[in-house]
Amino acid sequence: MAGTMTNIENNTIRMYWNVLRSMSKNIRLGLAVKLTNSVLEEESKEMSDEAYTEAMFDKFYGAWKGDESADELMGNITENT
């Protein structure tokens, strides 16, 4: 969600949460997946497939920017644990 939520948005969330919180964990997880997928589908329609894939990698997996090779990076991590 971009920006600050309005009182109406907060009240809507509260209203739905009051209904949803008594449901089973499986139902709530299923609804969370459907909601997440609907947001991701909206985002994917706003950009090319390549741009969307790159955005999802950056968003969910992060992006390492550095000159180290994978072996050097793993060596640094191993040394400092």
What angle (nearest 5°) sits at the alpha carbon of residue 34, between those of residues 63 and 56? 15
Q: What is the DSSP letter of 23?
A: S
Q: What is the pLDDT of residue 64?
A: 65
pLDDT tens for 16-52 read 898 888 999 999 899 999 988 888 887 667 778 788 7
Instruction: Tell me which residue has tokens 């939520």.
Output: 5
Average pLDDT, the chain: 81
Helices 49-60 and 25-45, interaxial angle, to 10°? 140
Residue 62's pLDDT band (cuts 50, 70, 90):
low
Question: Mean pLDDT over residues 57-76, rounded?
Answer: 76
Rounded CA-CA distance 41/46 in Å is: 9
* pTM of structure: 0.43
